[in-house]
């Protein structure tokens, strides 16, 4: 059975109201004084996108998109480029987590207890849960129902800094690359971060 977006929403009530506690996974906590060059190495080694910084009763998040805009990865401290974000607790529901992720363009959110980060909930885990719900109910969604129509693209002859500028300005992490109007690849914020990586890591 194929569905419209409104009907999909109705079918996912169970998922939306589930506590995030069952989706928790380990998170990466860094010091507010850690240099970005070291954080880049950590993100590459762990194949992660976000890290969290505990700041006197609040939690800041730092992701790859934040990092690629930094001018000096050895001198810039994460507390200068990260941002304070809402926190979840174990009883927060998946629907709330998804709304916050969408609003802040985040892939993970911290689960906090008594001011300390206990773990995280990721968009990947939520998507897996949604997929199981849809498959279990024999429901199908067309890609055309959820795709971004007429996406931003970049010409293959443009520079990496041009791609980085678009990603930062438009708050996106994936940019299709075209040559004479034909898709030839895709560049991601992770690709750009790896180019910025300290020499010994390349």
pLDDT digits (tens, 9 = 90+) for 38-87: 899 999 999 999 999 988 888 999 999 888 888 888 888 887 788 898 98
pLDDT at 173 over 60: yes
Q: What is the pLDDT of residue 104?
A: 86
> What pLDDT does 97 receive?
95
> What is the pTM (predicted TM-score) of this model?
0.81
Question: Between the CA of residue 163 and those of 57, 113, 177, 179, what are the distances in Å?
Answer: 36, 38, 9, 15
Question: How far out from the chain centre does Cα 21 lie?
Answer: 19
Which residues are 122's β-sheet partners?
A: 108
Rounded percentage of the chain residues whose pLDDT exceeds 70: 91
Residue 154's DSSP bridge partners are: 177
pLDDT score of 24: 95
Q: What is the pLDDT of residue 200?
A: 42
161-170 mean pLDDT: 91
What is the reported pLDDT for 37?
Answer: 87
- State the pLDDT at residue 119: 95
């Amino acid at each position: 059975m194929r569905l419209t977006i409104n009907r999909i929403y109705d079918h996912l009530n169970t998922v939306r109201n589930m506590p995030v506690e069952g989706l928790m996974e380990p998170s990466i906590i860094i010091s507010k004084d850690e240099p970005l060059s070291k954080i880049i190495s950590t993100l590459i080694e762990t194949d992660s996108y976000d890290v969290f910084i505990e700041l006197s009763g609040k939690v800041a998040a730092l992701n790859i998109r934040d990092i690629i805009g930094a001018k000096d990865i050895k001198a810039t401290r994460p507390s200068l480029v990260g941002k304070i974000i809402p926190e979840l607790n174990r009883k927060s529901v998946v629907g709330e987590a998804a709304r916050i992720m969408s609003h802040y363009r985040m892939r993970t959110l911290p689960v906090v207890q008594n001011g300390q980060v206990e773990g995280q909930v990721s968009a990947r885990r939520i998507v897996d849960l949604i997929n199981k719900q849809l498959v279990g109910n024999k429901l199908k969604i067309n890609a055309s129902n959820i795709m971004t129509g007429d996406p931003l693209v970049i010409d293959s002859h443009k520079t990496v800094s041009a791609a980085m500028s678009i990603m930062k300005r438009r708050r996106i992490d994936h940019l299709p690359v075209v040559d004479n109007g034909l898709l030839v690849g895709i560049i991601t914020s992770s690709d750009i971060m790896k180019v910025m990586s300290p020499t010994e890591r390349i």
